Structure 1
Amino acid sequence: MTTTATHTRARLADGVPTELGRLLPEGICRTFRVLPYAVADGTVLIAVAEADDPITRQVVEERIDRPVQLVRHTGNEISAAIDLVYPPAEGAVETADERRARVQMARMLTSSGLVANEQLQVAMVEYSRTGDPIGDILVAHEAITEDVLVAALSELHQMQRVGLSDFTPDLEVARRLPEPLAQRLQAIPVAATDELVLLAVARPLDAEQAMDVEEALGSPFRQLLANRTELDQLIQHVHSAHYVEVSTVALMESRPEDSASVVFTGTQKALGICVGIAVLLCAVVWPLGTLIGLVAACSLLYLLVSVYKFQLTFRALGTHLETDVTDEDIAALDERTLPMYTILVPLYKEAGIVRRLVRGINELDYPRTRLDVKLLCEEDDVDTIETIRSLNLPPHFHLVVVPDALPKTKPKACNYGLQLATGSFCVIFDAEDRPEPNQLKKAYIAFQRVAGNVACIQAKLNHFNQNQNLLTAWFANEYSMHFELVLPAMGAAGSPIPLGGTSNHFITSVLRELGAWDPFNVTEDADLGIRLHREGYRTAMIDSTTLEEANSQVPNWIRQRSRWIKGYYQTWLVHMRRPGTLLRETGIRGFTSFNLTMANAFVLLLNPIFWTLTTLYVLTQWGLIQQLFPGFVFYAASAMLFVGNFVFVYLNVAGSLQRGEFGITRTALLSPLYWGLMSWAAWKGFIQLFTNPFYWEKTEHGLDAGDHA
């Protein structure tokens, strides 16, 4: 439709019906200085300050599905009318100086041909939703480069620029500004004389920030504008030794009782030796009775674990125990209130999927200017580092090179990245993850609704390649059971939740308070979930799914699963160092839940033993085996055999049905074969607990051909 600037009898000064004025969102009205104010002969009259501006015309036409007519008014008239339709919140309305700077920036970039009208329109519409600087929005959407923006800011603010890409810092000078302040302000000294410090800054400092800097430096300073990516890399370089130390030993030194750096404490070793001697002596004196007792104890443990998981599943089946966030809730969200959100992405030997990872993050329904994406790479992973650098990513992506230091684990890399995090909330995504686009918004809304002691929101995990082969279908069945049934039921019951390794959203300050992840625990997510609970915090679930790549090859699957199970052993050993304290902090229900959850890893060790005994008896009718199962032991073991296997199959069927994955449900009937693989991995992990406890078994990603699409 065509719009024209004209005069009509209806006047803006006569007042604007609220319903009519709100045909356009508040942000659009204030950003473009437009307001629907009357209807004449079926045409909506729009007050505009710049009736000839093609961007304003297109924005209005796209959002009102009736004929419109643009009517020129002064900016002051329109602003006063908007204030009546949308009463302004304090501090939420752009000041005259801010508007002048924004318009000046836009005109500078468009008049020089650096930004097309279409690109500026996209940026202006996003600005109307978020209120973030128009230049930052253009850079985040790659309409211009960071260097172009720095040049424009330099001209606007009459400030000198400094290039840092090949700069070698004087560490003594660079460290004059304390690291916390350097991180918060994105500023670092690059040169100094007796009278003056030259300070590279990402953005001009305000008066309060400048006062903080001068006080910290103890000297006057002059600001130089710098490329944000180059400045970020320089700050990392200057303070890398500090980051390494904190990420490796902070938990071990501040909370040694919570660190898995010691696999077995002296007390645990002594207790284990005493129990072993006692069992050995009993076996010498009462050989058959001792064996019967061991079989009975193992059968009972097996039965308790099975019944507990069945009870959790039964509670969750057919119900909705997650914190509910609807599409309407997301649509009603004011993006101006959204916080900075840090995304930690640990990468190792994954250069091949970096491009897909970047596309996936850019597809998230969250303002890019409020994303703080840390791509965490190990120093020796040259291919991945060079791939990231070659992409020339906008500054909301941060390449973080973790110096080569032991232990070389994912939690240590996450600890390193957490020190650089600027977000009020943070989340971990793995390289191959495909989160639902609105997951960050869902998590943010959920945090506003849950109890005040909830410090973590866990999203669900499943797989995008579940139909690739039988192994991936089993893996998907297991994840459906775990994330659709078991974890929601545990959360609803207030039990300690062993977190999934990805898509867990945290309040950043709480995570730092707890010492973050244990770099020596190879299943750091489960351990952190228990520590959160012990400190009085809770975890809630949301109904949002992140799709991962299920391992499609048995050797790769064994490597991953053996590491997970080894970490469960570590977690149990750490938290059972002081059982009385654990009981007091978690209560009897939480204590029981923790032990039965961790016991599943020990049950997997028993499977081959019982299967071997059963097979030997069927083939040989060996009398000794029959003697091991007298009376009550036989009935307990029989219950274990039937109930345990039934529960395992039932849980996998129920999980896939709950998720609606009917195509792979039938594969759950073969789950006992999958259980055999799990036992294989459990024994590998158990042996490594003694031989190489901190070794991180690398899982290869990108084995599904569709992952590079």
Structure 2
Amino acid sequence: MSETDLSLATAPRHRPVPRRRRPIVSILMQDHGLAPADAMTALSEAHRSGADVSQALLAEELSRPETILAAQSTRHGALVLDPAKDPPDPALAGLLPPEVCLRHAVLPWRRSGGRLTVATARPERFEDLAALLPDETDPIEMALLPEGLLHEIITDRHGDEMARRAETQVPTHESCRDMGPGAAQRLGLGLLCALACLVGLLLAPTLFFTMATLLAIGTLLFAQLMKVAALVASQLSRQTESAAHGTRATVSLLIPLFREEDIAGDLLRRLKRLDYPRAGLDILFILEARDETTRRALEGLCLPPFVRVIEVPDGPITTKPRAMNYALRFARGEIVGIYDAEDAPAPDHLQRVVGHFARSPPEMACLQGILDFYNPQANWLSRCFTIEYATWFRVVLPGLARLGFAIPLGGTTVFFRREALEAVGGWDAHNVTEDADLGVRLARHGYRTELLPIVTREEANNRLWPWIRQRSRWLKGYMITWRVHMRAPWRLRRELGSWKTFGVQLVFLTAFLQFLLAPALWSFWLVLAGWSHPFGALFGTDALRALLWTFLATEGVSLLVSIAAISRSPHTGLLPWAPTLFLYFPLGAIAAYKAAFELVSKPFYWDKTAHGRSAPDHAGADLPEDGPAKRS
């Protein structure tokens, strides 16, 4: 039975116009001068990627879009629509949801003569439309429209509506958007808490300082125990990968850009290094509607056919997760990946990701890669940042995964099964660390995240105030994420289990409490200088000495884990800088207090990090670890 016969058998009311079955490559060769060698290349790429041959022809730039459209018209006996002369009927705008139209590249166009004309940019899959339309719909006939024009019409009609849905598609009980109202009340409450702390410090300084010290030591101990456990567990979690030849999937890469005019050209150059069939590659540059500077920068580039620009309509918030939720509607792939503007992925990333997904069960919904830097030698701050990232991505996250905890995702080099991503509602558009939040929500819905040893190099933020601003956003997001998932702790425990719920406290609560309570811990350095600590006045010198040794031991644990992390990275030259981290982490305390103030005053404010301010250390520093990059 032919594809057309199968469509008629399943949906006889939606009878398409009979098709002419000449292969499109044959039409292009006979009628439009396609070279036989190019035809063979297109057929080979279509087989390698699993895409339609028309998509392979476009992606490999073997034929012009208008020529392919004419050949499709000949093959299917379908009219090529011109919206300027024959606009779509606005009365049909509600026949199919815009998300369905985008997913299947179709658009109800007009009713005439007892038939419904439907425009499509993928005629080879037109028979899938029968199952989407209501049963009472007239018989359908195909018409052709370039995908870019189809997207323009849908965006003009439904762009604002889709942007509003992108802001609220995560269920209310899993979102932080309820923090929007009541800013004045939160600010008043925050000031009241600060005043209470000040009064306590003035009236009972010894008791207040002692209690803060005990809490700080407690969170520090939990954090260091987590690091040690992660170090041991990560030693047991070294992954092996087997080849997955012949695995095919379309991969959509979402790349949010906001005021990235300085790095757009470098980004495109790095993405072109990806070794993946172009017909199976769908790269979306996501712009905010008001971002004129990045738009002009992209207009000055020659974008390949597999790269598209998606503009997000203005709205009450301007965040990365809102932009990604909106752009996901335009994506073609069954696997969705995220890169940042400054990223330099290794060429084999996508092959390894697709292969790993193919070998994994459906509940394995997410793969997180390793982030590293291509400018660690820029200054002291970039060296410490590189060591910190090595600790997080090469020791802590693999260890947490091995221990069975929910993984707080990174915002880049992370890949999802699209079905799972849509099942949990995508990203929380209001959360400024949408990645970490999504990791917890995936776990709450029964999905798993695994670590994959693929490395992306990016630019280390090595300027003092921008570093503090970036870190304050991360810490504010951790505070928000903890608050969201702990608003109903028994529900969290029921969905995650006791062990993973404990992991949420270890990862999120200790992260921001350590920095907020850091001044209490700094006091121990003064003890070494001879200062009389208030703790000793209450509990005696022996207890103070024990606490001091505990503090020093935790510093030693941090140093040990950092050294282990550096040894797993290509940056062994940074080992002498590991002991200086005790001067680096106090910067996080400044960021934490900035984050706490913003939590009550402007929780959704996105403190944007500027990129393109620090070049790679040397030529090839942004290449993968097994490339010619030198060790730092």
SS in 1 for 2:252: strand
Sort the Cα spacing of 1:219 and 1:480 in 2 relative to 1 into closer, same or farther, 3 A.
same
1:334 equivalent in alignment to 2:252: no
Q: In 1, distance between residues paired with 2:83 and 2:25?
A: 29
Matching residue within 249, 259, 272 for 2:176: 259
For residues 158-169 of structure 1, what are the structure 2 equivalents within 5 Å? 158-164=77-83
* Alignment partners' CA distance in 2, 1:282 and 1:359: 57
Q: 1:141 aligns with which of 51, 60, 72?
A: 60
Which one of 598, 601, 612 corresponds to residue 512 of structure 2? 601
Shift of 1:379: 0.9
The aligned counterpart of 1:428 is 338
**Equivalent residues of 2:516, 2:593 under 8 A apart:** yes
The more displaced of 500-509 and 383-392 is: 383-392
Q: Which residue of 1 aligns with 2:270?
A: 360
Residues 203 and 501 (structure 1 numbering): CA distance in 2 closer, same or farther, change over 3 Å?
Answer: closer
Structure showing greater radius of gyration is 1
Shift of 1:463: 1.2
Gap change, CA 1:361 and 1:629, over 3 Å in 2: farther
Ranked by relative contact order (alpha carbons within 8 Å, sequence separation 6 or more), the top structure is 2
Aligned to 2:502: 592
Q: Does 1:522 align with 2:441?
A: no
Structure 2 alignment gaps of length 5 or more: 1-18, 621-632
Deviation at 1:582, TM superposition (A): 2.6
Partner of 1:352: helix, strand, or coil?
coil
CA shift at 1:486, angstroms? 0.8
Deviation at 1:600, TM superposition (A): 2.0
Aligned-pair distance for 1:124? 4.1
8 Å CA contact 2:120, 2:126 repeated in 1: no
1:325 aligns with 2:241: yes
Summarize deviations over 1:378-429 as a string: whole Å, max 9, x none: 1111232344455464553332211111221111111112233332221111
Structure 1 residues 166 and 195, CA gap change in structure 2 (3 angstroms): closer
Q: Is contact 2:288-2:311 (8 Å) kept?
A: yes
**Contact kept? 1:321, 1:492, Cα under 8 Å:** no
Q: Secondary structure at the match of 1:315?
A: helix
Q: Residue 404 of structure 2 corresponds to which residue in structure 1?
A: 494
| Cα pair 2:166 2:322 within 8 Å, conserved | yes
- Cα deviation, 1:24-55, whole Å, max 9, x if unaligned, reads xxxxxxxxxxxxxxxxxxxxxxxxxxxxxxxx
Give per-residue Cα distances to partners, 1:177-228, cap 9 Å, x unaligned: 3334412331213445575554322132667345447647833554332222
What is the CA distance between 1:549 and its match in structure 2? Answer: 1.4
Residue 667 of structure 1, CA deviation = 1.9
State the match for 2:94 in structure 1.
175
- 1:306 and 2:228 equivalent? no
Deviations 1:69-122 (A, max 9, x none): xxxxxxxxxxxxxxxxxxxxxxxxxxxx9995144145147x63xx55664454
Are residues 182 and 586 of structure 1, via their aligned partners in 2, closer, same or farther at CA, if it must alter by over 3 Å?
A: closer
Aligned equivalent of 1:294, options 186, 201, 212: 212
- How much does 1:534 deviate? 2.2
CA distance in 2, matches of 1:256, 1:589: 22
* One-letter amino acid of the structure 2 residue matched with residue 416 of structure 1: Y
TM-score normalised according to structure 2 size:
0.84
Cα RMSD of the aligned pairs, angstroms, is 3.6
- Per-residue CA deviations over 1:517-561 (Å, capped at 9, x if unaligned) read 111111111111112222222211111111111112222222211
Q: Which deviates further from its counterpart, 472-481 or 121-130?
A: 121-130
Alpha-carbon deviation of 1:467? Answer: 2.4
CA contact (8 A) 1:146 1:394 kept: no
Distance 1:130 1:593, change over 3 A: closer
Residue in structure 1 matched with residue 156 of structure 2 by the alignment: 237
Q: Secondary structure at the match of 2:238?
A: coil
The one-letter code matched in structure 2 to 1:605 is L
Q: Secondary structure at the match of 1:442?
A: helix
Give the deviation of 1:276 after TM superposition. Answer: 9.3
Q: Look up the equivalent residue of 1:363 and give its one-letter code.
A: R
- Say if 1:410 and 1:154 are closer, same or farther in 2 by CA, change over 3 A: same
Which residue identity does 1:365 align to in structure 2? D
Aligned residue-pair number: 599
For residues 175-254 of structure 1, what are the structure 2 equivalents within 5 Å?
175-192=94-111, 195=114, 197-204=116-123, 208-209=127-128, 211-212=130-131, 215=134, 218-251=137-170, 254=171
1:443-458 aligned at under 5 Å gives the runs 443-458=353-368
Amino acid at match of 1:104: S
Describe the SS at the equivalent of 2:311.
strand
Task: Judge which range, 275-284 or 381-390, deviates more.
Answer: 275-284
- Structure 1 gaps of 5+ residues are 1-96
Local SS of the residue matching 1:705: coil
Structure 1 pair 396/217, CA: closer, same or farther in 2 (3 Å)?
farther
Partner of 1:399: 309
Give the structure-1-normalised TM-score: 0.76
The 2-side partners of 1:554 and 1:281 are apart by 32
Distance 1:512-1:667 versus aligned 2 partners, 3 A rule: same
In 2, Cα distance between equivalents of 1:374 and 1:172? 30
Paired residues of 1:460 and 1:503 also in contact (CA < 8 A): yes
Provide the secondary structure at the position in 1 that maps to 2:473.
helix
Query: Hey, what's the Cα distance between the residues in 2 that align with 1:702 and 1:294?
Result: 41
Using the TM superposition, give the Cα deviation of residue 698 of structure 1 relative to its aligned residue in structure 2, in angstroms.
0.5
Q: Is residue 102–residue 133 contact of structure 1 (8 Å, CA) maintained in 2? A: no
Map of 1:610-629 to 2, 5 A cutoff? 610-611=521-522, 613-614=523-524, 621=531, 624=534, 626-627=536-537
Per the TM alignment, residue 431 of structure 1 is displaced from its structure 2 partner at its CA by 1.5
Q: Percent identity?
A: 30
**In 1, Cα distance between equivalents of 2:85 and 2:378:** 47
Q: State the AA in 1 paired with 2:519.
A: P
Residue in structure 1 matched with residue 26 of structure 2 by the alignment: 104
Give, in whole Å, the separation in 2 of the partners of 1:494 and 1:165.
Answer: 57
Residue 122 and residue 209 in structure 1: after superposition, are their counterparts in 2 closer, same or farther (change >3 A)? closer
Q: How far does the alpha carbon of each residue in 1:638-660 deviate from its partner, in whole angstroms, 9 at most, with x for none?
A: 13421222222222221110124
Q: How many angstroms apart in 1 are the aligned matches of 2:305 and 2:140?
A: 25
